[in-house]
Structure 1
Amino acid sequence: MASARIKKGDTVVVLSGKDKGVSGTVQKVMPKQGKVLVEGVNVMTRHRKPSQANPQGGIDRIPAPLALAKVAVADPKDGKPTRVRFEEKDGKKVRIAVKSGETIDG
């Protein structure tokens, strides 16, 4: 797998699908599956029958993973989607937003 362009805690923008244009924070990255879990995006509803653990039952809203190709890192300057490149600064590998040239990691 290539270097991690999207990491946990990044703000990303959804590029396609029903949530196109929505931005959110990455909760979990699953590189082997090529998926990412984004807060408040791709929320699925699950109807639960009453059980011992949940006597009320009801509808649960849970976020489902998205394909990594459907999200892009949000530019720190304007919040629009951008690609990511890597540079070495002070002997440390950092991620740079291609659009604005600003560093993504501190």
Structure 2
Amino acid sequence: MHVKKDDMVKIIAGKERGKTGKVLRIMPDKGRVIVESLNVVKRHTRPSQLNPEGGIVEKEAAISLSNVMLVCGSCNEPTRTGVRKLEDGNKTRYCKKCNASVDK
């Protein structure tokens, strides 16, 4: 996965193209991601114990992983990422534009 939860991403395709947001949830089995306050859809819900009034609820819909690009924290641009192996054996993602580590 080139993105993880809480990463900042930019939408590169679709009706929300050019907007940025934080990743709320990743669905690796479906290859989709939910981005905060982007791709908002309206759902009609029935009254229930949790929501006694029912009505129209707005929530974020999933976006394909291929339509988002990670925004690098150091150069503030959408970028492709690579994976490096560190001396201690751990792996880290890095920005291919500025060569800086993306992971905290």
Specify if TM > 0.5.
yes
Aligned residue for 2:12? 15
Describe the superposition over 1:23-78 as per-residue Cα deviations: whole angstroms up to 9, x where unpaired: 111111111101011111111011335x2433433321110110000001001123
- Output the amino acid matched with 1:82: T
CA distance in 2, matches of 1:19, 1:78: 22
Aligned residue for 1:71? 68
Please, what TM-score do these two structures have when normalized by structure 2? Answer: 0.87
Unmatched runs of 5 consecutive residues or more in structure 2 = none
Unmatched runs of 5 consecutive residues or more in structure 1 = none
CA distance in 2, matches of 1:96, 1:78: 12
Please point out which of 22, 27, 31 is paired with 2:24: 27
- Output the amino acid matched with 2:84: E
Aligned residue for 1:100? 98
CA distance in 1, matches of 2:92, 2:35: 22
Aligned length: 102
Please point out which of 3, 6, 11 is paired with 2:3: 6
1:54-65 → structure 2 map (5 Å cutoff)? 54-65=51-62
Please, what TM-score do these two structures have when normalized by structure 1? Answer: 0.86
**Aligned partner of residue 69 in structure 1, secondary structure:** helix
CA distance in 1, matches of 2:25, 2:52: 30
Q: Percent identity?
A: 33
Structure 1 stretches of 4+ with a deviation exceeding 4 A read none
